[in-house]
């Protein structure tokens, strides 16, 4: 019997942790939730530049995707990180969706927002969905004005913790998406254990994603966001951005 296709998900870990640690975090969730997905857990491209919060809990090495100031308004190595991930996705994909925790979720949402505005991943099929755990928006206006310019159409689920220090930023990120599913939990800045109601919510959501992907599974449909139509949209978007700069 032909094996059922699995849909590929790029999973981006949090600050100064690792792909292996995120894989362990996600293992708290019932395995049936992502049984039809091929989950890929790369490490960040930079070694941790300081102490990790998981020292003594999970073994090193630890990594970070980029660096930032205390106010999260200035970023170091972000462009290099985005270039790396775009190359990674093209070479190892295509990826149907993204999943991220904290810094990884913030980065995942940026990639989707940028792709929607034709800034990155023009040679990769549209990212269809995202799972965000404790994510947030970038605060630099030059990024916000592009990535969150319009409601992001990709389907999304956002886990928001009542005691999470990123609770409000997580709410703001969810609001940047069109019709997001929000799953709240009483915990802090963590990948939460899910109660029965949350397991059902996430299972139903992931099942609907699979059905949507199956219905648009023919390669020609994926390419046809129609490749010519997509090119036209990107050209128009680029022209509009140039007009704004010129004005």
Instruction: Flag whether pLDDT at 231 surpasses 70.
Output: no
Q: Which architecture characterizes domain 7-216 according to CATH?
A: 3-Layer(aba) Sandwich (3.40)
- More confident of the two residues 180 and 242: 180
pLDDT in tens, 175-218: 999 999 999 999 999 999 999 999 999 999 999 999 999 887 75
Count CB neighbours of 124 within 10 A. 15
pLDDT in tens, 122-171: 999 999 999 999 999 999 999 999 999 999 999 999 999 999 999 999 99
Using pLDDT thresholds of 50, 70 and 90, give the confidence band for residue 234: low
**Which residue bears the tokens 């190595």?**
77
Measuring CA to CA, which residue among 172, 137, 178, 126 is closest to residue 156?
A: 178
Report domain extents, the chain: 7-216, 221-247
Q: How far apart are CA 65 and CA 12, in angstroms?
A: 9
pLDDT in tens, 60-87: 999 999 999 988 989 999 999 999 999 9
C-beta separation of 133 from 191 below 8 A: yes
- Can you give the pLDDT at residue 3? 65
Q: How far apart are CA 216 and CA 214, in angstroms?
A: 5
Collapsing DSSP to helix, strand or coil, 116 comes out as: helix
C-beta separation of 17 from 52 below 8 A: yes
In angstroms, how far is CA 119 from the centroid of its own chain?
16
pTM value?
0.87
pLDDT in tens, 12-48: 999 999 999 999 999 999 988 999 999 999 999 999 9
Cross-strand pairs, 67? 76
- More confident of the two residues 116 and 223: 116
Instruction: Flag whether pLDDT at 245 surpasses 50.
Output: no
Torsion of CA 218, 223, 229, 233, to 10 degrees: 120
Q: Name the DSSP class of 119.
A: S
């Amino acid at each position: 019997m032909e094996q059922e296709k699995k849909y590929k998900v790029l999973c981006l870990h949090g600050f100064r942790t690792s792909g292996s640690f995120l894989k362990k975090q996600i293992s708290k969730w019932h395995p049936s939730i992502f049984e039809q997905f091929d989950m890929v857990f790369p490490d960040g491209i930079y070694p941790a530049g300081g102490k990790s919060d998981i020292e003594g809990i999970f073994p090193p090495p630890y990594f970070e995707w980029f660096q930032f100031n205390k106010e999260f308004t200035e970023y170091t190595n972000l462009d290099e990180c985005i270039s790396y991930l775009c190359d990674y996705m093209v070479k190892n994909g295509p990826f149907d969706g993204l999943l991220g925790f904290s810094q990884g979720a913030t980065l995942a949402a940026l990639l989707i927002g940028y792709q929607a505005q034709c800034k990155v991943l023009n040679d990769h099929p549209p990212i269809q969905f995202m799972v965000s755990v404790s994510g947030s928006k970038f605060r630099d206006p030059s990024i916000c004005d592009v990535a969150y310019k319009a409601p992001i159409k990709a389907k999304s689920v956002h886990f928001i913790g009542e005691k999470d220090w990123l609770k409000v930023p997580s709410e703001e990120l969810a609001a940047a998406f069109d019709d997001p599913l929000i799953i709240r939990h009483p915990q802090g800045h963590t990948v939460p254990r899910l109660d029965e109601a949350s397991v059902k919510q996430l299972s139903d959501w992931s099942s609907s994603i699979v059905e949507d992907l199956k219905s648009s599974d023919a390669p020609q449909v994926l390419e046809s966001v129609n490749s010519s139509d997509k090119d036209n949209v990107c050209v128009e978007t680029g022209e509009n951005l140039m007009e704004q700069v010129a004005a």
